[in-house]
Each structure stands twice: as structure tokens, then as C-alpha cells.
Amino acid sequence: MISSAFYRMAMTRGFRTKTLFASFAFLSFFVINVLPLALIFPGAAYAGTSPQVVNTDVSIIIYEYDIDTSGSIFPGKYNLLVRNVGSMYHEVVVFKLNPGVTAEQFGEVVGHGGSLAKLGRTKGNLPPIEYGTTGNLAITFEPGQYLLLCFRVDKASGKPHFMIGMLREVTVE
């Protein structure tokens, strides 16, 4: 009984010592590492809780003549992996449509040599990449309607690729 009580006491004291040490270690860590960082870069110490994560889980496949996305895109930062699995050069232009503008209207206006400025604006682009290669497209998506397009001109028909299939409408919400 005595040894048991002594053991319990020793354990309790040991626990207290450990807790105290852990508190001290945490405080030291905070004062030495976090506090100066917070003073130099306000907000940096909280980077882990801010929405700065770059999504790398969506890829885009381009070929004659289509653009496929591997998954849904939500508002946020993306580093899209683009794979050209076709047999010619292709590009990806990310165009954000103004509210109310449809893909059909975009096709009509641009097909007749109209201005892109009234339809929306370009949010990013991956310059043409060779077939069999990959590229990366870093882009921040806000809620809205987007078009993924290839403006390369088809030699046989003289038409831009987006008019013969390389146009993908994407809703971000």
C-alpha cells in the first residue's frame, strides 16, 4: 500500500514536471520562432489557416479536337497539369465569360472576327505545347463561367481549333 501511494505520488510529480517542461518548451518555441515571424510578416504565422492552398488534383487533356478536364473546379488556386495526347501542337486559353454571355455567343462573335473584350477576359494561357508533352497552367478561379480554348488554326480547314471542338465550358461555383 505504501509503495503504491509513493508510486502514485512519483507519477503525479513526474507528470507535473513533464507538463511544466512542455509548457516551457512551447513558450520558448513561440517566443523564439513564431513571435518574431509574426512581427516581421504579419499574417505569415497564420499561413496554415488561410486559403492559400494550390490545388494540383485537376488535369486537362488536349487532342484533336477536344479539351477534357479530369474533375470539377471550385473557386481557388490551381496548378493545372495539361497533357497533349494528340498529334499536333495545341494550347489552352482560359477565358472568363462576362455574366450572361454564353459559349454560343462567344463562338458567333469571335467566328465573325468580333472583339473578345465585350465577352469577358483572358485569365491565363498555356502557350502551344508539342504532342506527347505536358505543361502547367497556374490560375486562380473565381465563381463564374469559363471557356477553355485552343486558338491554333487547322491547316486543312483554316478554322481555329476551338471552332472544331477544342472548346470546353467550365462552371466554377
| Sites of contact with Cu ion (CB under 5 A) | 90, 150, 152, 161, 166
Q: How far is the CB of 166 from Cu ion (least distance, A)?
A: 5
C-alpha cell at 159: 478554322
Is 70 or 87 the residue whose CB approaches Cu ion more closely?
87
Q: How far is the CB of 139 from Cu ion (least distance, A)?
A: 18
CA–CA gap between residue 29 and residue 51 (Å, rounded): 25
Q: How far is the CB of 160 from Cu ion (least distance, A)?
A: 8
Q: How far is the CB of 148 from Cu ion (least distance, A)?
A: 11
Is 78 or 162 the residue whose CB approaches Cu ion more closely?
162
Q: Please give the DSSP secondary-structure letter assigned to residue 162.
A: G
Task: For strands 120-129 and 90-97, give the pairing.
Answer: antiparallel
CA–CA gap between residue 162 and residue 151 (Å, rounded): 6
Is 77 or 83 the residue whose CB approaches Cu ion more closely?
83
CA–CA gap between residue 65 and residue 60 (Å, rounded): 13
Is 110 or 166 the residue whose CB approaches Cu ion more closely?
166
In angstroms, how far is CA 117 from the centroid of its own chain?
A: 25
